Structure 1
Amino acid sequence: MSTIAFTKGHGTGNDFIIVADVDGGLTLRDEQIAALTDRRFGIGADGMLRVVRSAALPEGAQTPDAVWFMDYRNADGSAAQMCGNGIRVYVKYLVESGLIELAVGESVAIGTRAGTKTVSRTETGFEVDLGLWVADTTETLVRAKGVPVARPGQGIDVGNPHIVVALSAGSELDGLDLTVQPLVEPLPPYGANIEFVVPDDPLVHAGVGSIRMRVFERGVGETLSCGTGVAASALAVRHWAGRSAPEQWRVEVPGGVLGVRIVGAADGEHVLLSGPATLVFSGEVALA
């Protein structure tokens, strides 16, 4: 039985097992990742981040402008396109382990299955440019335990798919039972993360929009935070609010607070996500 070194990290409570495999020599089966992320019999995490050079992976051929590739896997072992919290934790690991140097104000390109993402170091953490976003026009209904009737959902793609559902009050958000997977009709071909949101009162203060959110992540279940889900939620509420909606948002999740900015670029609107990244502990673990 072999052992591997790992580091545990999180971004607003969305936690990850980080494994360095810079030359791409490590093969991990889905069931091994599921065992490692198990919260009772393993280390426990919402997912795994494999730190590997783009040149060492077939997927890395799509991101030749990025030296490093974030191979993100959900807790069930399935591969995911992107993770907004995970990529901040990934860059934090690169910096703390000495694999890169990154001063405040500097940026690094990171390869993902959703393309190359630019991550900047800030005074309080990291900000990632998630790139272009797309609003889905599909009419979707979401049924969730604790919500008496099905609610319409707004599809938002920010590199991975999300469906955002507006609730009427904070009590409704708090009363959700997300131990049961919400039902989506029609279900997207590859599934989606489901976000439930309520606006603060007032919605906008000093030019910044403010909302609360809970999320059910595909392949994981409810998590304390979802970075791309935070961005999708802010975009959906901005979409519903109309032309007068702000370009900057504060999103509260059970694990903390994240920031979202929408900025214009030559190729369209980009959405940027900012927040902290924390490394908790390191160790070694046996692979089953």
Structure 2
Amino acid sequence: MFGWLKSIVGKKGHFAALDTADFPTFKPGSVWLVGAGPGAPGLISLLGYHAIGQADVVVYDALVATQLLALTPAKTLKVFAGKRGGKPSPKQADISLQLIDWARQGKRVLRLKGGDPFMFGRGGEEASALFEAGVPFRIVPGISSGLGGLAYAGIPVTHRETNQSVIFLTGHDETGDVSPLDWPAISRAAPVIVMFMAVKHLGTIAAKLLAAGRDPAERVAIVSNAASPLQQVLETTLADAIGLQDVPTPAIVVVGPVSAYRPVLDWYTGAARESAFG
């Protein structure tokens, strides 16, 4: 199954060998939901890269790197479907209907999503809509920003010296409210909490975690524009996070001891940022 890899190793221009690799066929009338990874375009999977070269239509999110879109064939139609908090955005139902419509026209439809489609990426909703419409689909996982984005900031989500568990959550429910979440249970669930889309409500979240018993001096790191040349990391404490304002987004928030490893593991500096592919 992986014999084609041997033809890549040791060759100049080895990316060209992917053109003859035995990837699954991207059939007309089907939709592939592909995770583009966080920030750096080089973090997309080989199967995702294959899909980019085959797609007739690419429906992409706001967080997809422009360098990935540049890899599409000249004839490929690119459709923006980005959703950003607090800004006018396409409705989820309309995006799903677009995917169905293009597929029914016999197009190879690539739904290109930042991070991973199933990690707070609404991929499950879109795949369900495709299933109900009878449209064939494939899920291509991606590197979640909650893992890859933190790695680019020198933050391991687990470390044997600090934690054997981690909890991932979104900073609000589908109504935009943080209250329905069980914050006392979340506070006890793991030493490390990684939060997506939490900056808007960070003050409220920090207060709820403190009320649930977390240490006011506990470390908090906020990674903005992860794995991109614009990446910024703000380190603070849970108590001080209550008053934070004007934090750049998109951002990943991590609460817990693992950000203490940044002085040793913070590798994404200097020349590492110069390449467009991170």
Question: With structure 1 as the length reference, what TM-score do the two structures score?
Answer: 0.24
Larger C-alpha radius of gyration, 1 or 2? 2
Comparing both structures, which one devotes a greater share of its residues to strand?
1
Higher helix share: 2
